[in-house]
Structures are given as C-alpha cells and as structure tokens.
Chains A and B, each alone.
Chain A
Amino acid sequence: MTMKASSRKVDGIVIVDLSGRITLGEGAVVLRDTVKEISSRGEKKILLNLGDVTYIDSSGIGELVAAFTSVKNAGGELKLLNLTKKVHDLLQITKLYTVFDVQDSEASAIAAFSR
C-alpha cells in the first residue's frame, strides 16, 4: 500500500492526514516532500496525523525525526497525532516517544500548539 498525504488547516495549524506505509522509498519521500512543501509556504505549526499509518520502518522513523528537526530549526513546531499501537511501540523502543509531542485527539493537539 502506497503512502498518501493530504493537508488541511485548522485554527492556524496545518494538519497532515497520512495513510499507508512510511518506509524506505516512496512513503518516506512523500512525507519529506509534504513537510518541505508546507514549510516552504511559511507554515510553522504542523500536526502529523498517523492514525491511518499502518507501518513505519527505520527509514520512516528517520523521516519523522528529520521533519521534526527541520521544522524546529525553522522556529516551528511539529507534533504527532493518533499513533497506532505498532507505531507507538516503535517510538517507545527507539526512545523517541518523549522527543515528539504525541497527542491522542485533534482538539488536544491543536490546543497544545503555542499561540
């Protein structure tokens, strides 16, 4: 299953709904290009909704980390929403769960962004 990304804006925050697999190759590239394109528009608050992401490999984790650091270095914030158990476990194992701001609901995620 290929990765799909669509974005929408709610209360000044760009929410990216991702679905499919974030793996080496197409999936990781779609994520990278999507975040790059959003950042290039000057958007600084990005919420990645991973609720329909079925699988992430180490390359996908690397892309999430790269997206997080690039947005942060540009003075923005990137948060994660709706992790599946698999993705949650993967971030726990790699000690990245505490690095990312992970939210369980869209409302709480939106409220968590600085104003």
Chain B
Amino acid sequence: MNATRVSYTLDSSLASVNKAEQTAAELAAKSGFNEDECGRISMAVREATVNAVLHGNHYESGKRVTVSFETTPQAMIIAVRDEGPGVDPKAVPDPLAPENLLKQSGRGIFLIRAFMDEVRFRTMDPGTELTMIKFVREPSNGSGKEAHQ
C-alpha cells in the first residue's frame, strides 16, 4: 500500500464531528486495522474533532476545522486543527484522579492518548493542531490462537 493523504476543511458543527469519525473508521478499515482498532481510532478522531469544534472554535460559523488523514504501510496519521485560542494539554486535569472521577467532562484528551500510539499538540497561529498516530501491527500467527501439543 502506498502512502495516501486526504484532507477535509469542515465547519464548526456536530455534522463535521460525525463526518471526521466516519471517515476515520472507513480509512482505518481500508488500512487493515482490526475492528477494535478501527473503533479506537475513530473514537480518538471524534474526541479530537469535538475538542476542535466545541472547545477550540466554540461552534463559531466563521472558524473552520481541518482534518487530514495520512495512511502509510506503517501507520495512520491524523491531524485535527482548529482556529481557537489554543490549548495547554498539561493544564487539563487528570480525569482518573479521585477528585475528578465524577466530573462530567474532561475525558476527551485522556481517551485520545489511551487509544492512539502517539499524540502531539502543536500551537498554530491561530489555533491548535493535534496529531495522532496509530501504528500498523503485524498480524499474529494462527489468528491469535495458541498452539498446543
């Protein structure tokens, strides 16, 4: 499989979130990721796009979200960029801390980190770009079944 790259410029709406999620699921499946991995990738993309639309662009109609997908034989690389005021990921409280466990929000970035292999934030002018990478794993022998003698 050769490297391919596709990019979408979307408005700041929930429809864009669904579009990004659906595209991620389709491209992940085409790239050979299994069902569980496709689910994790598409959820990470959904969470990143929600952050861009909601917390970055605040649903403002004049601001756009750019979502790009690059697939190579080794990995799927997704970048989500907003035009918001910027985010400091270190300032986001740990959602697993006992005092935060019952908070209604604040789990998006945690889930992205849990589901993807590499996550990077880059401050842009304007906005923030979040890049997520999921590496292709070699299929295990014997469909994951252990051989018994």
Given contacts A57-B43, A57-B47, A86-B39, contact A94 B96 (CB under 8 A): yes
* A24 proximal to B (CB < 8 A): yes
> Number of residues in B with C-beta < 8 Å to the partner?
20
Provide the B85-105 mask, 1 if CB < 8 A to any CB of A, else 0. Answer: 000000000011000011111
Chain A binding surface SS class: helix
Q: A24-B54, A65-B102 known; A58 and B114 CB under 8 Å?
A: no
Query: A62 and B104 in contact (CB under 8 A), knowing A57-B50, A94-B96, A94-B110?
Result: yes
Q: Are A69 and B102 in contact (CB under 8 A)?
A: yes
A65 to B105, CA, bound (A): 9
Name B's A-contacting residues (CB within 8 A).
14, 17, 39, 43, 46-47, 50, 54, 95-96, 101-105, 107-108, 110-111, 114
Interfacial residues, chain A to chain B (CB-CB below 8 A): 23-25, 57-59, 61-63, 65-66, 68-69, 86, 90, 93-96, 99
Give 26 CB contacts A-B under 8 Å: A23-B46, A24-B14, A24-B17, A24-B50, A25-B14, A57-B43, A57-B47, A57-B50, A58-B47, A58-B107, A58-B108, A59-B105, A61-B107, A62-B104, A62-B105, A62-B107, A65-B102, A65-B103, A68-B102, A69-B102, A90-B111, A94-B95, A94-B111, A95-B96, A95-B101, A99-B101
